[in-house]
Structure 1
Amino acid sequence: MNSHVVPSLDRFIQRFMQQHETNRQPMQVEWEENWPSPCQQGQVDANGKIAWQPVKREDVADFSASEAALELPFHPDFKAFFARYWSANLPASAERGRLELLQVWNPDDFARLQQNLIGHVLMKRRLRHPETLFFAVTDDDDYILSLENQSGQVMLERVGVRPREILAQDLASFLDGLSP
C-alpha cells in the first residue's frame, strides 16, 4: 500500500517508543488469555499485565468486504493507517488536547473495527452527512477524530452532528503534528 501516511505514522510511533524508553515507562496492558496479539512481548507479570509494542503487520489488511457492503471505497490514507501495525491504542497530544489513535490489536479487533465503521457510515448516511471514517477518540466522549472520506481532511466530529471543524488537510500532516 503506497501512502504518504505510512512514513508519518512510522515517525509518530518512533517518537512514542522513544518517549516511553526515555521516561522508563513500561508499555503494558491487562493480559486477556482469549485476546492475544502479535504485539505482546514476553510473559504475563504478577499483576496480570503483559508488555507490548507496535509491530508491523506482515499480512495485508483487507477492507474489501466493508467497502463492498457500503458500496464505498475507503480513502487510501485511512486504509494505510490501519494496515501498518498491530498495536494497542496510542495516546497523543494535538494542539486542541489529548487524544487516542485507534489501532488494531489482533485480527478479531480488525473485524470489530470494520463492523463499527459500517455502523458509523450508515448513521452518517441516515443523517445525510458527509461520509467520515473515525480513527481517534478524544478525552470528551462526545467527540471523535475522523477522515472525511471524499477529501481526506481530518475532522473534529461531534457524534451525530455534521463535522464542521477541519484539523488538518490530510492524515499525514495531522500525524506529523502530534506529540506522544
Structure 2
Amino acid sequence: MDVITSMQAFVQRYLEHHQNAQSPLITQWDADWLSPCQQSEPDAQGMIRWLPVARHEISDFRDTERALEIDFHPDIKAFFSAYWSENLAAITPRGPLQLLLPWNEDDFARLQQNLIGHVLMKKRLKQPITLFFAVTDDDDFILSIDNQSGQVMLERVGLPAKEVLAENLASFLESLTPQ
C-alpha cells in the first residue's frame, strides 16, 4: 500500500472507533482558526464537531525544500497532504502517539516552519536528516522518517534516530490502532 491509501484506511478505522465508542470528535472553536474539518456551529461551551477531510492535491513543499537544499521523502509529502484534521491519537506496541496533521492552510505553513527548524537542527548537529510526523506522550521522543531510506524511526529529540519502527510509513500506518 502507499501512504495515502494507508492513511485513508487508518482514518476509516479511527472514525469507526469513535463511532463505536460513541465519542464524537469535538474541539474548541476559534473564529480565527477555521478549518474545512469543522462540521457544526459552536455550541454553548464553544465546542464544535469535526471530521478529518481528505485533501485532493499534494501540498507544495518546493519553497521549503529549496530553502533547505534537500528534497523531502515522498512519503512525508503524501502524509501531510492526505487530510486536514486535528491530530489523531493512536496506539503502537511502543505506546500512544499523536499523528500531526494540519488543521488549515496557516497550520500547514506553521508545520513547514517547524520542519525547517528540525532539519536545520539536524544539519547543525551533523546528524542524518529526519522528518517528524508524530509525537509521543514523552516530550523527549518523536516519530520521524529517515529522509534517505523512508524508514519510520523513534527519535529522541536532539539525538540521531536509532530505533527503526517500520520499513516505511505506509506499513507503520497500517499497524496503528486508533485511540
Q: TM bucket by the smaller chain?
A: over 0.9
Q: Is 2:63 the partner of 1:65?
A: yes
How many angstroms apart in 1 are the aligned matches of 2:55 and 2:149? Answer: 27
TM-score normalised over the length of structure 2:
0.97
Alignment-derived partner of residue 138 in structure 1: 136
* CA shift for structure 1 position 139: 0.4
State the partner residue of 1:172: 170
- Within 5 A, what are the aligned runs for 1:105-144? 105-144=103-142
* Mapping 1:7-156, distance limit 5 Å: 7-156=5-154
Calculate the TM-score normalised by the size of structure 1: 0.97
Residues paired across the two proteins, number: 178
Equivalent-residue separation in structure 2 for 1:125 and 1:4 (angstroms): 29
Of 42-51 and 56-65, more deviation after overlay is shown by 56-65
Distance in 1, matches of 2:42 and 2:68, equals 40
- Relative to structure 1, the CA distance from residue 114 to residue 56 in structure 2 (aligned partners, 3 Å threshold; closer, same or farther) is same
For residues 52 and 151 of structure 2, the distance between their equivalents in structure 1, rounded to whole angstroms, comes to 25
Structure 2, unpaired ranges of 5+: none
Letter of the 2:43 partner, please give it. Answer: D
Contact 2:130/2:147, CA 8 A, preserved across alignment: yes
Q: How large is the Cα RMSD of the aligned pairs?
A: 0.9
In structure 1, distance between residues paired with 2:143 and 2:56: 27
Change (3 A) 1:102 1:177: same
Deviations for 1:17-40, whole angstroms, at most 9, x for unmatched residues? 001111110100111110000010
Q: Secondary structure at the match of 1:40?
A: coil
User: After the TM superposition, which of the residue ranges 55-64 and 107-116 deviates more from structure 2?
Assistant: 55-64
Cα 1:76/1:59, change in 2 over 3 Å: closer
Q: Secondary structure at the match of 2:155?
A: strand
User: Post-superposition shift, 1:94?
Assistant: 0.4
Q: Which runs of 4+ in 1 moved over 4 A?
A: none
> One-letter code of the match for 1:41?
Q
Contact in 1 for aligned 2:165/2:172 (Cα 8 Å) = yes
Structure 1: distance between partners of 2:94 and 2:158? 20
1:46-84 per-position Cα deviation (integer Å, ceiling 9, x unaligned): 111110000011444111110010011100010000001
